[in-house]
Structure 1
Amino acid sequence: MIHKRFKCFLWYYSSYCILLISIGIYFGNIVNKELFEAAPPTSGQDFMSVVLMHNLTNFGMYLLGFLFSPLFQIMDFGGSSFVITMGFRTLGAQEALDKLIPHGLLEFPNMLLYQGISQYVLFTLIYTKSIKAALGVMKKMIPYYVLSLVILIIAAFIEGYDSLLFSIIINNS
């Protein structure tokens, strides 16, 4: 049986994420696409390192800064959905999807996971008014934090090398 507080949180969190993504898509559709230019694809170890450091910093920000997680998520989900929408408008659907897949299939659900955990810790703090209860939730979530961290590392590797691996596969076939 799902705890009543958790059901309430899931309703809130789903609504919040849908709202942020919708706002990002809306602004991505009303902005003049001529103001944006597609960047050339980047790949390799240097790019993977940059992506990994960004992902780890973002993860740490949510882990340690759960009090501000709703604000962080406005930037992450609103910003990401805006950029993805602009990518679809400037590059076209096929090229935009090629840039998003396969790493996005890992990264997006993982972002939902660790950002959701962060907001659930904040939600618990607000609901119970107890830092001890919030820290207890964090302690219970340690296996999910570790899983999320592993997924972040895998997604960074794939994002850093996917265009390189894709071109090797295409050239060898």
Structure 2
Amino acid sequence: MNWTDERVEKLKKLWSEGLSASQIAAQLGGVSRNAVIGKVHRLSLPGRAKAGGASPATRAAKRSTSAPRAPNYASRVATRTVTRAAGATMLREEIEVDATEDLQFAPVRNVVVPIARRLGLTELTERTCKWPVGDPLTDEFHFCGCEAPEASPYCTYHARLAYQPVSERRKMR
């Protein structure tokens, strides 16, 4: 499919009217939604106009009339509007939710961080820890190099960092 001048002009017109890429592709015919998106990016067209929305000047005027508010960090309870079904009717209601969660930090007491041997890439063997340390683009970059168990590429300390139990990962989500 070739982009003729006529098709490009029609694309620009439909894009400025606020049509989606799928709608434009359907009107042009013989072109996919992704092809439309690609052409819009190559033409560096501005963001799509919102169909039926307020003009940018109106939105800017509304924004400038209200005074900026400072965030209220003391408030722990926030209201959120949710919709729920009650039979065949959707109801909207405001509920209060706890906006913050108290996390208890308990430092681990008996963690032994191994002293890295600071090996380069060419110095690594099958029995050395291959944990990277630092930025690879700097001269200080090195690998841990400590003794690694036979079945692992990392020393015991770095293996605990790399391989977290499933239950721990679920808690973090």
Higher alpha-carbon Rg: 2
Note whether the superposition's TM-score is higher than 0.5.
Answer: no
More helix by proportion, 1 or 2?
1
TM-score normalised according to structure 1 size = 0.20
TM-score normalised according to structure 2 size = 0.20
